[in-house]
Chains A and B, each alone.
Chain A
Amino acid sequence: MGDSARCHNSLVTVRGLSFSRGDNKIFTDVSMDFESGKITAIMGPSGTGKTTLLKLIGGQLQPSQGIVTVDGSNVHRLRRNELFVLRKRMGMLFQSGALLTDMSVYDNVAFPLREHTHLPESMIRTLVLLKLQAVGLRGARNLMPNELSGGMARRVALARAIALDPMMIMYDEPFTGQDPISKGVLLHLIKSLNATLGLTTIIVSHDVHETAAIADYIYVVSGGKVIGEGSPSEIKHSASEWVQQFMDGSADGPVHFHYPAKDLQDDLMSSGKRY
C-alpha cells in the first residue's frame, strides 16, 4: 500500500497522536489517514478508545501529543469559534443517537438548521423532509425520541448529522445492539450516503463482517496502537495472529480469555482473604 499515495488525498490526517486519561495511556503515537470520499473503518475490541479517537478528531478532547488535521486545519490549534465553523462541516453519529429528548423527530433534524442558518421555516421544512426521506423516516416526523426503536433513533440522528450537508461524517459503533434488519438498513444508508453525497466516512466499530463489507480501508487498533491496516481483503489475510483472532472472533489467542490472575490452584487453596 503506497502510504504517500493515500496521504495527499486525505481529508483527515492523524500524526503521532498520544492521549492518556490519568496514568492510563489510551493511544501512543498513532498515525492514520482518512481518504477523501472513501469509507475508512477503525476496528478493535471494546475499551480501546475508538470513541475517544473520534472525539479527538472532532476536537472535543485535547491530545497530549500529535497533530490532527481536518481539511488542512490543525483541529487542536483552532480557536473555539473556528473549531465551531469546522464542526458545521463535520457530522457525527453517536452510539446512542444523542437525539434531544424534548423535541420531536422533525425538530431534532431541524435543530442544526435553525441554529446555524437564517432560512425561512418553509425552506427548513423542505430540507428536513428531504433528509428524513433519505433515511426513510419522513412518516415518523411527529414522533418523540422515546417512541423510536434504537435503529430508528440512529437513522434520525443520521438525518440530523447530514442536515448541514457536511463534508465528512463519523459513525460511532453504528451497528451495536441492532437487529439484522436495522443493521442492513444502516449499512445500506452509510454506503449510499457515501456514494451519493461523496461524504468522507469514518466508522468506528467492532462488528467485523458488517464493517468489512462496506469499508474501503481498515485500521485495526488495540492497546493504543495501530496493529494492522489495509483493504478488507488484506486485513482478512493478515499475518498477524492478533488480527486473525479479532476477525475470526476466537475465544483464546494472543488476547487471552482469562483476565490476568494468579494460578487457579493457588487461588482456591489460599485463605480467601481479599487482596
Chain B
Amino acid sequence: MMDFIQTLGRNTRSSFTKLGRATFFLVQTVIGIADILPRPRLLLNQLYSVGVLSFLIISISGLFVGMVLGLQGFYILSDFGAEETLGVMVAASLVRELGPVVSALLFAGRAGSALTAEIGLMKATEQLSGMEMMAVDPIKRIISPRFLAGFISMPLLAALFSAIGIIGGQIVGSGLLGVDDGAYWSQMQAKLDFQDDIINGVIKSLVFGFVTSWIALFEGYDAIPTSEGVSRATTRTVVTAAFSILGLDFVLTALMFGDD
C-alpha cells in the first residue's frame, strides 16, 4: 500500500514537472518565432518537410474517407428518400469533424513522429549541444521554425483533406450511385454555413496543429538521448497527440456547436 502511494506520488510529481518543462519550452519556442521573420528561408524549408511532404498521405486518405462517406451516406439517406442531401452530409462531416481530426491524426503520425525522431537524434548526436556551444540557440534555430511550420500547415492540410473528401463523395454519390450532381453541390452550398462550419473547422485544426507540433517537438527535445529513449519519445508523441486531438475535439465541439 505504501509502495502504491509512493509510486503514485512520484508519478504525479514527475508528470507535473514535465508539464512545467513543456510549458517553459513552449514559451521559449513562441518567443523564438520573432527571430524567424528576418530569415524566411528557415521557415520555408520546414514548411516543405512538414507540410508539403504530408500532401500525399492527406490527399489519398481524404479521397477514401470521402468515398466511404458517400457510400454510407447514400445507403442511409436513400432509405428516407433523401439522397439529394448527400452533399450536405458529406461536406458537414468532413468540414466540421473528419477533416480537422483525421488529418491531425495523420499529421501526428506522419510529421509529428518525424519531428520527434529528428530532434531526439539531434540531441543524441550532440548537435543541439554543439549549436549551443557555437552560441546558436537551438530553440530559435531548430525548434521555432518547425513549430510555426506545423501550425501553418495543419489548417491547410485539413482544408485539402476536406476538399478532396468532398470530391470523393461526389465521385461515388453522383458518379456511381446516381445522385443528381446539381443537388449534391447546391444543397451543400445552401446548408453549410461559413462561420459555423468552415471557420470552426479551421479553428479546430489550428488548435490541433499547435498541440501536435508542441507535443512532437517537446518529446524530441526532452527525449533521453539514446536509441531507446528516442524510440519511446516517438511512440509517446503519436499516443499523446492522438489522445489530445480526440479529447480537445470533444471540448471544442461542445463549445462551438453546443448552443444551437
Binding site for B on A (CB under 8 A): 55, 58, 60, 84-85, 87-88, 90, 92, 94-96, 98-101, 111-112, 115-116, 157, 160
* Whole-angstrom distance between the Cβ of A163 and the nearest chain B Cβ: 9
Using Cβ atoms and an 8 Å threshold, which residues of chain A touch B131?
A: 100
For A98, give its contact among B126, B136, B141 (CB under 8 Å): B126
For A100, give its contact among B127, B129, B132, B133 (CB under 8 Å): B127
Across the interface, do B133 and A58 meet the contact criterion of CB distance under 8 Å? yes
- Total interface residues on B, CB under 8 Å, equals 14
Tell me if A's interface is mostly helix, strand, loop or mixed.
Answer: mixed
Across the interface, do A87 and B127 meet the contact criterion of CB distance under 8 Å? no
Across the interface, do B136 and A92 meet the contact criterion of CB distance under 8 Å? no
Using Cβ atoms and an 8 Å threshold, which residues of chain A touch B122?
A: 101
**CA distance in complex: A101, B142 (Å):** 13
Using Cβ atoms and an 8 Å threshold, which residues of chain A touch B20?
A: none
For A87, give its contact among B125, B126, B135 (CB under 8 Å): B135
Using Cβ atoms and an 8 Å threshold, which residues of chain A touch B126?
A: 94-96, 98
Using Cβ atoms and an 8 Å threshold, which residues of chain B touch A85?
A: 135
B130 contacts the other chain (Cβ, under 8 Å)? yes
Chain B 102-139 interface 0/1 with A at a Cβ cutoff of 8 Å (1 = within)? 00000000000000000000100111011111111100
Q: In chain B, what residue has the closest Cβ to A163?
A: B134
Across the interface, do B130 and A94 meet the contact criterion of CB distance under 8 Å? yes
**CA distance in complex: A217, B136 (Å):** 31
For A101, give its contact among B127, B132, B141 (CB under 8 Å): B127
Most buried by A among B126, B127, B130, B133: B133
**CA distance in complex: A157, B130 (Å):** 10
Across the interface, do A88 and B129 meet the contact criterion of CB distance under 8 Å? no
Using Cβ atoms and an 8 Å threshold, which residues of chain A touch B132?
A: 60, 87
Across the interface, do B136 and A112 meet the contact criterion of CB distance under 8 Å? yes
Across the interface, do A60 and B133 meet the contact criterion of CB distance under 8 Å? yes
Q: In chain A, what residue has the closest Cβ to B142?
A: A100
Across the interface, do A94 and B129 meet the contact criterion of CB distance under 8 Å? yes
Using Cβ atoms and an 8 Å threshold, which residues of chain B touch A111?
A: 134, 136
Using Cβ atoms and an 8 Å threshold, which residues of chain B touch A58?
A: 133
For B129, give its contact among A98, A99, A101, A112 (CB under 8 Å): A98
Between-chain CB contacts (< 8 Å), 28 pairs? A55-B129, A60-B129, A60-B132, A60-B133, A84-B135, A84-B137, A85-B135, A87-B132, A87-B133, A87-B134, A87-B135, A88-B135, A94-B130, A94-B133, A96-B126, A98-B125, A98-B127, A98-B129, A98-B130, A100-B127, A100-B130, A101-B122, A111-B134, A112-B135, A112-B136, A115-B134, A115-B136, A160-B134
**CA distance in complex: A111, B135 (Å):** 11
Across the interface, do A116 and B135 meet the contact criterion of CB distance under 8 Å? yes
**CA distance in complex: A60, B134 (Å):** 12
Q: In chain B, what residue has the closest Cβ to A98?
A: B130
